[in-house]
Structure 1
Amino acid sequence: MYIETQGELEAFVQRAGQSSILAIDTEFLREKTYYATLCLIQVATDGEVSIIDPLRVDDLTALAPLLGDSSITKVFHAGYQDIELLYRCVGTMPAPVFDTQVAATLLGHTQQVGYASLVGSLCGVRLKKADSFTDWSRRPLTDSQLHYASEDVVYLPKMYELMTRRLREKNRLDWLSPEFEALVDPARFEVDPAERYLKLRHVGSLGAPQLVVAREMAAWREREAQRRNVPRKWVLTDEQVVEACKRELGRIDDLFMVRGVRERISVPQARDLLAQVKKALASPRDTWPTLERPMRGEPNVDVQLDLMMALVRMRAREHEIAVPTLASHDELVAVARGYREGIGVLSGWRGQLIGDELVELAEGRLSLRIAGRSVVVEPVAAGLPAPARPGR
């Protein structure tokens, strides 16, 4: 069903309120705007598939009761951007949620498994992706576009049913609760302009005074991009920001010496930006930003990492869990360097499955050896000398 009037949307909300699940996908455009333009919302319930046209429906907040209904599970695949759009356009965070891409990592699939691949694996259907790069803002939509859009949700209810059953059989369904709760944490979707400098490319090359400039320039760029609703790189690129930070920005001409800046921002905008930079540079030094950098004395742990990764890969294969889901590289580095608090792999189900072994391996109480084509894990015999400290 194609929903393009407010009355049709409200009638759908009434029908969908009786369903146990609501599968959701969206189509949007983001190439030329800061905020994504929502072009379609595809939904599937226990017995219906519909396509909602946000460009024709008057008020999307009619969806709020459905999104907030705790008795209806909202099912997504790789749903971060869909959830972000719904939260912004409807004003309600969808909850509870189930993300098939996240769940698939506990059922033997790779961490970034695609929707088409998962549909093929679980439902035995091969999807055609002819309209994946179509312009969803153009109207009227073609039959091919509508068919493509509906396929993005029509299989989600069946996949949800299959996956939850298999996860229950493996006693893993509860393992996903923290992941899904984090997925709908409103804080994930709040943008703090003052923190945007941390995502600048090559920001690590800047020193303390330069980081102050980077913070102010990146924050100014973020607010300007939001105000004009254009991509931040259309205001200033990362390269232009970092290059400007390496100069002494005393005058507008200093800023305009950076290639391409003069063509991107006006003199009044440059004046406003420099005023904020100068104010920040005049602030107390203890308010200046700093970057966390590796301690010079921290040991090189490449050898330990190789052994730990071998153990992780073996356990991931045994339990049919994606390797990055079981243990990330950063977590392994932390364990190898002796950290034991606040590390995800050492707590919860991952701690039971692999964390305790990783600690024993790192502390020399476990060993790995090759037997034929297999890796054998066994305790180190008592009385053997303690392992040497990692080299620096």
Structure 2
Amino acid sequence: MTTLTTTEALAAFCADAARAPYVTVDTEFLRERTYYSKLCLVQLAYPGNGEDDAVLVDPLAQGIDLGPLYELFRDPGVVKVFHAARQDLEIFAIEGNTIPQPLFDTQVAAMVCGFGEQVGYETLARKVARAQIDKSSRFTDWSRRPLSDAQKTYALADVTHLRVIYEFLAAELEKTGRTAWVEEEMDVLRDPATYRVEPREAYKRLKTRNPNARYLAIARELAAFREEYAQSNDVPRNRVYKDDALLEIAALKPNDAGELGKARLLLREARKGPIADGILAAVSRGLAVEKDDLPEVPRQKSRDQINGALADLLRVLLKAKTEQAGVASKLVATTSDLDDIAAGARDGDWARGWRGEVFGDDALRLCEGRIALACKGQNVRIVPL
């Protein structure tokens, strides 16, 4: 097992990899105590059976520069293959200002090829590569050096078996004419905006049903302060204050330290110092927002708006169409999507591109009364009307 600890060794490997049609990539990182992921290891492999075609890269080695790796990531002639790529790509987007392209995610491809919802790497390794992954090193501290042989073996397996998985899935997609389906899904992963968290937009991740726009304005300011503080101090946002505490403060609207102390869910460290000051300032800003600048209150779909019978029919249709196509249903449409359609929505991701071909077009026909569903044994048939 080769571990690269110098820029020169990394450059030499990347030069060899640049002559291959693809390179498989994985990372090991820590994020429990920081806002940004701490990159601890990069695993790379390209097609071959030798000892030099799969390596570990130690980004913590003194003096190493990952520039050659980012150059390889930008090479348009080499497909960069990941499994469940989003977290890995976020690291490279932030640390190296680079998103590997062209890009292939085997988890997405497996869902398109009928392996089920959010299929794990171990499952694909077992079913496709006929390999068993030793999980004992999964939750080890990847920042500690030296790495054990067990850690190295586990880490390297994440890219060696991935070669077999990629070649199998790529062939399946080509055979079924679905390569373009996966390409559509890669658009989100290739977009730099996917990995940027704008503090002013952070409040949209909060789960609240409070319909008051002023309350949302305060929550927006509290979420923005928390995001900015977490980013600048590189601490997890929940270490600043958790969502439930944020929503409690938005409801309390404290204007001084005494009133802030009434918040039951706020961490002790946040009741004084710069966090407490930031909270009070955020509440003040939220209270001062002009009426025209108040955030729009999301419309909650009531059960009365949703045609329950139609929602049930859409669920049957989705299951039938995705089983027929051999693709994971949640990749095509979510339960929320089905409720939206049953409440009158006529556009969404489910209606566009390959999703429209698999499900969306027939979903609209069902809503318009142009098709019906019939059952024969275990099979659901679409009947034109």
| Residue equivalent to 2:27 | 26
Do the aligned partners of 1:365 and 1:379 also contact (CA within 8 Å) in 2? yes
Q: Secondary structure at the match of 2:41?
A: strand
Q: Identify the range of structure 1 (155-164 vs 261-270) with the bigger mean alpha-carbon deviation.
A: 261-270
| Residue equivalent to 1:98 | 104
| Gaps in structure 1 of 5+ consecutive residues | 381-392
Cα deviation 1:262-286 (Å, max 9, x = unaligned): 4324345423432343234223111
Do the aligned partners of 1:301 and 1:336 also contact (CA within 8 Å) in 2? yes
Do the aligned partners of 1:60 and 1:89 also contact (CA within 8 Å) in 2? no
Identify if the C-alpha distance between structure 1 residues 267 and 123 changes in structure 2 by more than 3 Å, giving closer, same or farther: closer
The one-letter code sitting in structure 1 at the alignment partner of 2:357 is Q
Q: Secondary structure at the match of 1:204?
A: coil
Cα distance between partner residues in 2 of 1:5 and 1:92: 20
Q: Determine if the alignment matches structure 1 residue 249 to structure 2 residue 249.
A: no
Q: CA deviation at 1:290?
A: 2.5
Cα distance between partner residues in 1 of 2:286 and 2:248: 18
| Residue equivalent to 1:188 | 194
Cα distance between partner residues in 1 of 2:267 and 2:122: 43
| Residue equivalent to 2:221 | 216
The one-letter code sitting in structure 2 at the alignment partner of 1:255 is L
Q: TM-score, normalised by structure 1?
A: 0.91
Identity fraction in percent: 37
Aligned residues: CA RMSD: 1.8
Cα deviation 1:19-64 (Å, max 9, x = unaligned): 2111100001111111111110000112300100011052222312
Q: Secondary structure at the match of 1:105?
A: helix
| Residue equivalent to 2:365 | 360
Q: Determine if the alignment matches structure 1 residue 149 to structure 2 residue 150.
A: no
Cα distance between partner residues in 2 of 1:337 and 1:243: 31
The one-letter code sitting in structure 1 at the alignment partner of 2:309 is V
The one-letter code sitting in structure 2 at the alignment partner of 1:192 is E
Q: CA deviation at 1:326?
A: 2.6
| Residue equivalent to 2:11 | 10
Identify if the C-alpha distance between structure 1 residues 268 and 106 changes in structure 2 by more than 3 Å, giving closer, same or farther: closer
| Residue equivalent to 1:40 | 41
Cα distance between partner residues in 1 of 2:308 and 2:157: 45
| Residue equivalent to 2:81 | 75
Do the aligned partners of 1:346 and 1:356 also contact (CA within 8 Å) in 2? yes
Q: Secondary structure at the match of 2:357?
A: helix
| Residue equivalent to 2:309 | 303
Do the aligned partners of 1:21 and 1:46 also contact (CA within 8 Å) in 2? yes
| Residue equivalent to 1:240 | 245
Cα distance between partner residues in 1 of 2:171 and 2:32: 39
Of 315, 318, 324, the match for 2:324: 318
| Gaps in structure 2 of 5+ consecutive residues | none
Q: TM-score, normalised by structure 2?
A: 0.93
| Residue equivalent to 1:112 | 118
Do the aligned partners of 1:34 and 1:226 also contact (CA within 8 Å) in 2? yes
Do the aligned partners of 2:218 and 2:285 also contact (CA within 8 Å) in 1? no
Identify if the C-alpha distance between structure 1 residues 266 and 130 changes in structure 2 by more than 3 Å, giving closer, same or farther: same
List aligned pairs for 1:336-347, cutoff 5 A. Answer: 336-341=342-347, 343-347=348-352
| Residue equivalent to 1:335 | 341
Cα distance between partner residues in 1 of 2:366 and 2:274: 61
Identify if the C-alpha distance between structure 1 residues 248 and 348 changes in structure 2 by more than 3 Å, giving closer, same or farther: closer
Q: Determine if the alignment matches structure 1 residue 122 to structure 2 residue 132.
A: no
| Residue equivalent to 1:62 | 68
Of 294, 301, 309, the match for 2:300: 294
| Residue equivalent to 1:390 | none
The one-letter code sitting in structure 2 at the alignment partner of 1:366 is I
Q: CA deviation at 1:206?
A: 5.8
Q: CA deviation at 1:345?
A: 2.2
Cα deviation 1:328-373 (Å, max 9, x = unaligned): 22332333333323x2222222222322221121122222222233
The one-letter code sitting in structure 2 at the alignment partner of 1:118 is L
Of 87, 94, 98, the match for 1:88: 94
| Residue equivalent to 1:386 | none
How many corresponding residue pairs? 378
Cα deviation 1:86-126 (Å, max 9, x = unaligned): 12222211111000000011211112100010111111122
Cα distance between partner residues in 2 of 1:187 and 1:4: 32
Cα distance between partner residues in 2 of 1:143 and 1:324: 38
Of 354, 362, 377, the match for 2:382: 377
| Residue equivalent to 2:58 | 53
Cα distance between partner residues in 2 of 1:128 and 1:261: 39
Q: Identify the range of structure 1 (265-274 vs 104-113) with the bigger mean alpha-carbon deviation.
A: 265-274
Q: CA deviation at 1:298?
A: 5.9
Do the aligned partners of 1:63 and 1:90 also contact (CA within 8 Å) in 2? no
Do the aligned partners of 1:234 and 1:264 also contact (CA within 8 Å) in 2? no
Q: Secondary structure at the match of 1:306?
A: helix
Identify if the C-alpha distance between structure 1 residues 338 and 236 changes in structure 2 by more than 3 Å, giving closer, same or farther: closer
| Residue equivalent to 2:177 | 171
Cα distance between partner residues in 1 of 2:305 and 2:185: 32
| Residue equivalent to 2:355 | 350
